[in-house]
Amino acid sequence: MSRKFEGDQILVATHNAGKLQEITEILAPFGVKVVGAAEMNLPEPEETEDTFVGNARIKAHAAAQATGLPALSDDSGITIDALDGAPGVYTADWAETGNGRDFMMAMTRANDEITAKGPDAPRSAQFRCTLVLAWPDGHDEVFEGVMAGDLVWPIRGEAGFGYDPMFMPEGYDVTCAQMDKAEKNRISHRGRAVSAFIKGCFSG
Ligand code: IMP
């Protein structure tokens, strides 16, 4: 049984505005005030692990220790079947330019690498999200969510963030960047991980 979250304020240990906005929207009905890491002037710890859960643990524990508040972190990314699961934990790195992140560059790389595998290469991919809630005493709880889909080219849509414009969830004929936010949150890897977190830490 998961440890319950008690209190009215949760620190979301991310500097990513897109993630923070989605988590804030999903938690809105639970009456918890969400505070972002940037608002608390927290440094961004280095993500030195090679798993989503390892990196999520680093971010959540660093924030809980620094603030004395329970801290929720998100480590997420995309795994592409034709590329043996790449970029995975390196999803953000594919967008790094040395002068900010360029997701058009990252999506172009993903498309180019799949195309280089030949015409029969699968276009299937998964968005994955691991959430870790860490308490200042060192305890943590882990929650995961996955959304399966296909990578389309050219990209479509302007909403969302990151790789959303090339990701078409299974059963849809629009990309995540063509969906309204509530619909994406309902089916997304992050929405599913947050639902598991709510079920584990808020109810019963
Ligand atoms: P990290 O968890 O900060 O290491 O980075 C996760 C990477 O995956 C970022 O580059 C995000 O843009 C990308 N990513 C995670 N979730 C989503 C999503 O819901 N839509 C689009 N891109 C995402």
Per-residue pLDDT of 173-184, as tens digits, reads: 999 999 999 999
> How far, in Å, CA of 129 to CA of 23, rounded?
12
The tens digit of pLDDT for each residue in 131-163 reads: 999 999 999 999 999 999 999 999 999 999 999
Nearest CA to ligand 1 atom 9: 92
Residue recorded with tokens 């004395």: 68
Domain ranges of the chain: 9-201
Q: How far is the CA of 124 from the centre of ligand 1 (A)?
A: 17
Ligand 1: atom nearest CA of 78 is 8
Residue recorded with tokens 């304020």: 9
Consult the annotation and say whether 184 binds a ligand: yes
The answer to whether residue 81 scores a pLDDT higher than 70 is yes
Top pLDDT among 3 and 156 is at 156
**pLDDT tier for residue 29 given thresholds of 50, 70 and 90:** confident
Consult the annotation and say whether 31 binds a ligand: no
75 is catalytic: yes
Find all residues with CB under 8 Å of 129, minimum gap 6, and list them: 52, 74, 75, 76, 144, 145, 146, 188, 189, 190, 192, 193
Pocket test for ligand 1, best of 163, 181, 185, 190 (most atoms within 8 A of CB): 163
> How far, in Å, CA of 171 to CA of 110, rounded?
22
User: CATH number for the 9-201 domain, one of 3.40.980.10, 3.90.1150.10, 3.90.950.10, 3.30.350.10?
Assistant: 3.90.950.10
Number of C-beta neighbours around residue 29 at 10 A: 8
The answer to whether residue 204 scores a pLDDT higher than 80 is no
> How far, in Å, CA of 67 to CA of 63, rounded?
6
Structure confidence at residue 168 (pLDDT): 98
As a whole-number percent, the residues of the chain with pLDDT over 70 amount to 99
76 lines ligand 1 (CB under 6 A): yes
> How far, in Å, CA of 104 to CA of 64, rounded?
34
Task: Determine if the pTM surpasses 0.85.
Answer: yes
> How far, in Å, CA of 26 to CA of 183, rounded?
11
